[in-house]
Amino acid sequence: MKYEKAVVPDDIPIEMWKCLGDEGTSWLTKLFNTVLKTKKMTDRWKMRAITCVQTQGGLTKYFPISVGLHQGSALSPYLFALVMDVLTRHLQEDVPWCMLFASDILLVDRTKEGVQAIPGLPLLGNLLQLKERKPYLTFAKWAEVYGPIYSIQLGSTSMVVLNSTEIAKEALVTKFSSISTRKLSNALTTITSNKALVSTCDYGEYHKMVKKYVISGVLGANAQKRNLHHRNTMIENVVSKLSAKINDEDCSLVELREPFQSELFQLALKQSLGNAVDSIYVEELGQTILKKEMLEILVLDPLIGVIEVDWRDFFPYLRWIPNKSMEMKIQRTAKRKTAVTKALINLQKERIGRGEEISCYLDYLLSEETTLTEDQLIALIWEAIVESSDTTMVVTEWAMYEIAKNPTKQDRLYQEIRKVCGMKKITEEHLPYLQYLNAAFHETLRLHPPVPIIPPRHVHEDTQLGGYNIPAGTDVIHSSPFSFYTQYISLLSYMNNDCKCLLLNPINMSQITINLYACNMDKKDWDEPEKWKPERFLSDKYEPMDMHKTMAFGGGKRVCAGSLQAMLISCRTIGRLIQEFEWKLKDGEEDNIDTLGLTTHKLHPMQAQIRPRSSCGLV
């Protein structure tokens, strides 16, 4: 460009900007502002160097640039040099030179009905504040300070967190069409076969089709009637296994999880595949898999795998960088669960070929003559197995924990069962008349929601939630013909503390997530929300429909299809366990409430002392 006129800042060679350094940047800043004040700066320079900023309230006026934190809707090399100057100070290290051209910057303005942002760090945002196992607790604490709706920054991803039942229902029902697209992590995408499941696919024709299949084939009212015998057998097997652990002493120490989880898994296999085999040879793995290994491969390992953290989830524009250890671990988990599910499906197909088939979910899917691919068929069968084996176990264990911890409430429940059932074993026909049992189930869902945070969804059109403007997810930094290091772009401020400028990566979209835990701990809706009080639902203050206010099964068009089965199994299991045994927590167990996993598993299985009831001879 020697002896040529620089028509716009971009005409100045990169080498010049690289050589400017702090002193040069400061000098050029003063020069630009001096020229700007004379009102003799050409429009082309003005438009490329200091153009007005797009906010939720409209375009701002032109403003002088100062060395420090800056923002503009178009970043020239000059403005970018200023940004690098700021980030260098934040990072306390040299920043590699890079070029960035951005045609848009998203401005979240708290003074213009924008959602307030939680303060975070450059580049990382709020990631380091969410390192613990219970992010829903952190979300709830932030809600006490910043209100029921706020935004957080996870790397380059912006997320709006809802902590209010009213706003959550608005998102799930009223504004559902604006935020119906699921956002999956890399691990969840791999393990769930890229949105092939009912629970993870986007709302549309495929979702409507497969949800109809799972309701008709395994989870709906008619399917529950067909599988009643399997549920009866499962629950009595749990009672028998616990009875077998009782010795001659006054009390016996037991763990509920192992026998209950094992029997739930067998029930899931029977409902999905017609039979609960003790072992199966898996050709793709070259080995025979026993039932205990099947539980690990199909349920436990995937549930751990889907919460594996891949840093590329937070910096999507760096997905080209390999993360081999994480990828290999997740791919191995996905391969093993797919191989075992496929082997179980083939075994049932062989029985069908011999005329020995047993009515099950797989038979229903095959008889429908659907257009499902083999991968989709395998994914749907696996989903029916894993979801029937996990969340019901989680809520039942927490319910028994609370009942064993509260002897007065346990006695009230036992007396209700005696009054309604007499000397008969509790059946599903008794459940509508056991009000305190139903209240205990829903109170457990409120205090210990199996899935405390509803997975994120994309905002794909401008909408409002709780009176706040939620912009649609847009590509706010467009591609550049130059190489650049986008990881150095972070939260910038402009003009005052009430405005935040957010530079996002080219594929970022706004997301919504719902913190059910915080919704159910809201003191405006619940008296003493931190306490387990089933009787709250039986007082005059609450209506029967308030039991569903917990939203533990979601809401709107995406309400959980398995809610009926979960209620039938959990309530009847709790009732039978209280009928047969007196429960008391092991000493020190009250403080053992840590959780782990995608669902809120107790980190350590509940240990309790049980004593057979004096009233025996139930029929």
Residues of the binding site: 560
Beta bridge partners of 470: 463
157-162 and 511-515 beta bridge pairing: parallel
Question: CA gyration radius for the chain?
Answer: 29
Rounded CA-CA distance 424/335 in Å is 47
- Binding site members for heme: 560
- Whole-number Cα distances in Å, 434 to 247, 423, 438, 439, 577: 31, 15, 6, 9, 15
78, 77, 68: which is closest to 36 by C-alpha? 78
- Residue identified by tokens 């029929």 is 619
Q: 31-37: long-range contacts (C-beta < 8 A, 24 or more apart)?
A: 32/65, 32/78, 33/64, 33/65, 33/66, 36/62, 36/64, 37/64
List own/partner pairs for 276-279 with CB under 8 A and 24 or more apart: 277/344, 277/347
Residue type, 329: K
DSSP 8-state assignment for residue 121: B
Q: How far, in Å, CA of 303 to CA of 390, rounded?
A: 9
Collapsing DSSP to helix, strand or coil, 460 comes out as: coil
Amino acid, single-letter form, for residue 203:
Y
The three-state (H, E, C) secondary structure of 211-257, written as one string: HHHHHHHHHCHHHHHHCHHHHHHHHHHHHHHHHHCCCCCCCEEEECH
> Phi and psi for 478 in degrees, rounded to 5?
-90, 165
**DSSP secondary structure of 263-301:** HHHHHHHHHHHS---SEEEETTTTEEEEHHHHHIIIIIH
